[in-house]
Amino acid sequence: MSGSGLGRRIVGASDLRRRDGHGSGGMHWTGHSLRQRTLREAVECTGIGLHSGQPVTLVLRPAPVEHGIRFRRTDLPEDEAEIPARYDHVCDTRMCTTLANRFGAKVATVEHLMAALAGLGIDNAVVELDGPEVPAMDGSAAPFVFLLECAGIVQQAAARRSLKVLKRVQIVDGERRCELLPHDGFAVEFEIEFDSPAVKHKQGRFELRPDSFKRELAAARTFGFERDVQQLWSMGLARGGSLDNAVVVSADHRILNENGLRYDDEFVRHKVLDAIGDLYLAGAPMQARLRCVRSGHAMNNRLLRQLFADRGAYAIVPAETVPAAWVGEPSLSVAG
C-alpha cells in the first residue's frame, strides 16, 4: 500500500441504498428482556474487497428466528451457495477471516461485518454477496453499522440466547496469548505490540453495551505497514488496500492518511473490533471476558474451537439473564 499505485475504492458507503422497503426503521434496545433481532428490510451496498481488489455487491436481508447469520454467494449455484457464519466453517485466517462450505464456496474478510452484527445485536440475517469477499468499505465497521441502521432492526418472537463461558479457555503460542474467562456481560481486553512509534497505545479494554460499540469501536479502521506491502501483494493479499480503506504507517513511522487517526488508539480499538467479529462466529453473543495479547484471527478461531471442544466450558443460557452490565455507560480505558 505505497503512495503510488493505490487501488481506489470504486463505490463507497455513500452509495448504500435501501432495497424494496418502506418505513424508517430504527434501533430499539430493551435492556434485560432480550429477544432475537433481525433487519426490518433488505439493504445493499457496493464496494471492493480489501484483499481481492474486486468489486462486490453486498445485500443484507431479514431472516427468521433461529436462522443465525448465513452468507450466500449469489454468483454460485444455489444449492452450493450458503456458508454459515460459524467458527467451524473458518478455512483461512491469514490477514482476515475466511469462511467456506463443503462445496468449496468461500467468503473472505467477514470480521468487520460480523462485528457490526454483534455490536448491534443482530441474531438472524442473510448476507448475500456476488463475489468471494465482503467489501472493505472504509476499513472499519462503521459503514456496516450505518447500513444496518438504515435497514432498521426489529425484535422477533423468540428469546435471545447467549453463550456463557464457565471456565477459563486459553490458547498460548509463544508470546501470543488469548483466553476466555467467565464474566457477566462481554468484555474484551487487548494488548498489541508493533515495532513502530506510530503505535502509541498498546492496551485497551472494552465492554460491549448498547450504543458503546457504535461510538467507541465501529469507526476504528484496519491498518497496515508500508514495509509489509510487497510481501502481502506476493501472497495475493491487500490488492484492494488503499488509504481509503486502511490506516497505513510509512517506513519512517508516519501515518500516511491525510486526516490521521480517528482515535489516538485506533490500532488497539481495531484489534478489539476484529476479535468481536471473530468471536461472533460462535453463533451467539458471549457472556465472557476475552483477554488477548498480540493475537489475531488465527488464535481467535483456535480459541472458539477449543471452547466448543470442552462441553463443560460453556452453557447456552437465555440472554435475559445477562445482568445490568448490558445497560449503562461504556468503560473503555486505555493504558500505555
Residues that bind Zn ion (CB under 5 A): 222, 274
Indicate the residue among 58 and 165 with the shorter CB distance to Zn ion: 58
Q: Which residue has the cell 442473510?
A: 126
Indicate the residue among 165 and 304 with the shorter CB distance to Zn ion: 304
Minimum distance, C-beta of residue 160 to Zn ion, in the bound complex (Å): 26
Indicate the residue among 81 and 134 with the shorter CB distance to Zn ion: 134
Indicate the residue among 7 and 21 with the shorter CB distance to Zn ion: 7
Long-range contacts made by residues 22-27, C-beta under 8 angstroms, separation at least 24?
23/152, 24/152, 25/149, 25/150, 25/151, 25/152, 25/153, 25/154, 26/149, 26/152, 26/153, 27/120, 27/149, 27/153
Nearest Cα neighbor of 180 from 292, 280, 271 is: 292
Minimum distance, C-beta of residue 111 to Zn ion, in the bound complex (Å): 5
Minimum distance, C-beta of residue 274 to Zn ion, in the bound complex (Å): 4
C-alpha 194/C-alpha 270 separation (Å) is 14
C-alpha 179/C-alpha 146 separation (Å) is 31
Minimum distance, C-beta of residue 273 to Zn ion, in the bound complex (Å): 6
Minimum distance, C-beta of residue 140 to Zn ion, in the bound complex (Å): 8
> Which grid coordinates are listed for 318?
437465555
Indicate the residue among 207 and 266 with the shorter CB distance to Zn ion: 266
Q: For residue 11, give the DSSP letter.
A: S
Minimum distance, C-beta of residue 112 to Zn ion, in the bound complex (Å): 6
317 and 288 Cβ atoms separated by less than 8 Å: no
Long-range contacts made by residues 271-274, C-beta under 8 angstroms, separation at least 24?
271/190, 271/192, 271/204, 271/296, 272/188, 272/190, 272/204, 272/206, 272/217, 272/220, 273/111, 273/112, 273/115, 273/140, 273/141, 273/217, 273/218, 273/220, 274/111, 274/112, 274/115, 274/300
Catalytic annotation on 297?
A: yes
222 and 245 Cβ atoms separated by less than 8 Å: yes
Indicate the residue among 25 and 49 with the shorter CB distance to Zn ion: 49
Catalytic amino acids? 297
